[in-house]
Copies of this chain bind each other. A is one copy, B any other.
Amino acid sequence: MPNSPPFDRARFEQPSLTVDVVVFAMREAAINLLVIERGIPPFEGRWALPGGFVVPSETVERAAARELEEETGLTGVYLEQLYTFSAPDRDPRGRVVSVAHMALLPADRIDAVRGGSDARRAEWVAIPEAIEKVEPAGLPAPGARSRKKLDAREPHFAFDHDVIVATALARLRGKLESTTLAFQLLPEEFTLTEAQRVYEAILGRAIDKVTFRRRLTQLELVEETPRMRRGAHRPARLYRAAPRDSVWI
């Protein structure tokens, strides 16, 4: 940063700065992803992430929240900055650096998503399995190296958005066990089984019921409510996330 003379920013052309948002939500016991189908080239017909240009007066986080609202109507969701993607050739139209963000939407708000102001369609899709292979061994940031792209036969995503999604998924997994981030994907009140399904969907493996419940209650991550979830079988107690200063355990 500016340890440099006066302020010769015009020495060379500066890249454009954009934001992209990976929105995750639980749908049908699986983790889903919000995409927008591109209507114009380049990458016409492919899935792209909500996002857009950063305007001069706002932070990138604010830009991500604004673009998310403009394109999907979502407000007040958990949003965190993820990683900055800057490969010179990531956009065929010119030099664009994008700061990717991750947003988590509670399952009961999944239908609150509406099309954007310019009438493009937002859509929930399951995470393509090939995404798993994009990630080199769960490592979030291997220095200057770039990630492997999705197989060309199944070109789901526009630009490098497959890599962005893979990075978001790795971040979500990594934070799952050391934070209470998972609660951001649940409604205000939820059963412990519902919470367990979220963990299982994200980690991609079964978790022992006893161990899971022990942890949540012993670490006081949840608190009982007087209410029950009634359904086809034995009613389940409803819990809510315990109030705490931070999402970290």
Contact = CB atoms under 8 A, between A and B. Distances in A.
A3 B248 contact: no
14 contacts: A1-B19, A1-B48, A2-B93, A11-B53, A12-B55, A12-B56, A14-B16, A15-B54, A54-B97, A60-B97, A65-B143, A136-B246, A138-B248, A139-B247
A96 B61 contact: no
Nearest to A179: B139
B79 A60 contact: no
A5 B248 contact: no
A218 interface: no
A56 B246 contact: no
A93 B96 CA distance: 23
Interface string A11-39: 11111111110000000000000001010
Given A2-B91, A3-B38, A53 B12 contact: yes
A12 B52 CA distance: 13
A14 B12 contact: no
A182 to B, nearest CB: 16
A125 to B, nearest CB: 16
A211 interface: no
Interface string A102-145: 00000000000000000010000000000000001111111110
A87 B71 contact: no
A93 B111 CA distance: 45
Interface of A: 1-5, 7, 9, 11-20, 36, 38, 40, 48-62, 65, 71, 78-81, 83-84, 86-88, 91, 93-99, 120, 136-144, 146, 158-159, 161, 174, 178, 245-248
Contacts of A56: 12-13, 15, 88, 95
Given A17-B17, A71-B3, A78 B143 contact: yes
Nearest to A64: B144
Contacts of A1: 18-20, 48-49, 51-52, 91, 96, 98, 159, 161
A187 to B, nearest CB: 20
Given A83-B81, A159-B2, A88 B57 contact: yes
